Each structure stands twice: as C-alpha cells, then as structure tokens.
Amino acid sequence: MYKIIRAEELTANIFLMEVEAKRVADACKPGQFVIVRKDEDGERIPLTICDYDTEKGTITIVFQIVGAATQMMAELKAGDSFHDFVGPLGCASEFVGEDLESLKKKKMLFVAGGVGTAPVYPQVKWLHEHGIEADVIVGAKTKDLLILEEEMKSVAGNLYITTDDGSYGRSGMVTQTIKELVEEGKKYDVCVAIGPMIMMKFVCLQTKELGIPTIVSLNPIMVDGTGMCGACRVTVGDEVKFACVDGPEFDGHKVNFDEAMKRQQIYKTEEGRAFLKAKEGATHHGGCGHCS
C-alpha cells in the first residue's frame, strides 16, 4: 500500500496528492509517469509525475476528474492509501541525458496547457537546479483554472501566464504568446509543449512556422503501461510508436495529431476497438483484452 501524506484541491476538479513511494522516487527522472490503482478492483490510471523527493521518498501527482475512477480518487484524504503505484514508467526527458555545458547554451521554451502544467514543472525545476533557466508559458481557460503558478515562478527564468478569456495575465491562446515573444526578439533553440492534444497540435503548427524544434509529451489512452496492450499507439513520422514505452515525449513536428485524437475517440467503444483491430491488422497489439 502507498500512503497519501498530503491531499489538496488545487482548483475546481483538479487535485494534488503527495504519496509515499520510495522506490519510485529513487528512480524517477523528469518526464516519466506512474500508473495508480485506488484499490484491488480499481481502474489503472496513468498520471504524469508533478514532483518527486528522494529524501522523503515521495511522488507528487496532479489529476483532473474526468470519470468515475478519478472521482473516487479525489475522495481520498491524507492517511489513505493507493493499492498500486507503479513506476517510473516511460522514458525520461531527452535533456536529462545531454551534456550540461551544451544544455546551458540552449534557449528553451516550455508551453503548458491546463493540467499539463504539472509535468512541465519537474522538468523546469530540474533545469533550474542545474543552473539552466528556461522561459515558461502557462495557459488556462480562466484564472480560476490556473495551477502551480507560484511553484513555476520559483523555477522559471521568465513566466508568462495566458488565459483564454483574458481574466488573468495575457489574453488569448498560448500560441499567440509564442508568436508575440518571437516578435519581441526572443530566440529559442527548442520548445517543449505539454497539455491537451489539440493544444499541442496548434503549438507545433506555430513552432514549425517559426522554425523552432518542438518536443511534445503525449497522453493517449493507456492500459498496461508496458507497450503490450497497444492502446497508446501513435504515428510519428512513418513509424508506429507506443507512448508508454517509446515516449511519452516525441518530435512534435512528426506526430500525426489528427490520427491520434481520432483514435482516442474510436477506442472508447467496443465497435471502435473492433474497427481499429481490423484496420491496423498485424500492427494492432490487442493485448488490452478489449478487442479480442
């Protein structure tokens, strides 16, 4: 069992929990994720890691209520426990393995949308701890849905807040702020975008036009987190990839976002899964057990 030592509601339907999981914390790197189960019969929920503390042996997760399983998770309090807390899963962010001196010469821009702010934070924090400053754009629909502003402010070189309705910070979409920063004279060697699939798609369209290489962290449906089920299949360039083991980070300019978003919707129904099995043929893993 994995004890929850802190639980709080950040904003409407978005919750933060700090969980005792020493072995996960000891091995964790920025960019990775965990899969949790509330109880023995619970649904497996993949969640990106918001923070980790190797001294305390804890992992911090942030999640949004999107269904019955996350609704039940939101009812947990400090002192309660998760039955399963598996990780770290996926590959660490590419920059973790780069030469630090080379990395310090790069101008990096992070773009976070909604709950995507949670996985952006540990990456920017890691850079800050290694003496590397990065600019960060955090976008939310309204001021009330903005999360982790103070935490991000403490580690970002420059923090730009945007809200769709103009209720706080800059008004408009994150793509508008990217364009404005470049027009103001900012130059970036790489952009990292994490958030809703549709947001990442339009960020990539913008950065491709501006000539900024872009990494995205994909969050398609996952079941087992080991590459066996095939639920998180995506097309990157001309290759089939699985976000849980090949990612979650990919070259955003090569990701087929339209296919990925369509597949997520199709996969939710039994008829849709049968359609994907027939369409994808030998490359359809089918290990999730839902389309056999």
In order of start, what are the domains of the chain with their CATH numbers? Answer: 2-89 (2.40.30.10), 94-214 (3.40.50.80), 218-292 (no CATH)
In this prediction, residue 194 has a pLDDT band, given cuts at 50, 70 and 90, of very high
Taking the C-alpha atoms of residue 257 and residue 198, their distance in angstroms, rounded to an integer, is 8
DSSP 281: G
pTM: 0.86
pLDDT for position 275:
46
CA pair distance 124, 107, nearest whole angstrom: 13
Q: What is the mean pLDDT of the chain?
A: 87
pLDDT of residue 219: 80
Residue 270 has pLDDT above 70, yes or no: no
> What single-letter amino acid sits at 117?
T
- Beta bridge partners, 8, equal 16
d(CA 138, CA 117): 7
Task: Tell me the longest C-alpha to C-alpha distance in the chain.
Answer: 54
**E strands present in 43-157:** 45-53, 58-64, 81-82, 84-89, 108-113, 135-140
Q: Is the pLDDT of residue 234 over 90?
A: no
pLDDT for the residue numbered 285: 58
Rounded to 5 degrees, what angle do the CA atoms 237, 90, 195 make? 70
- Which residue matches tokens 């030469």? 99
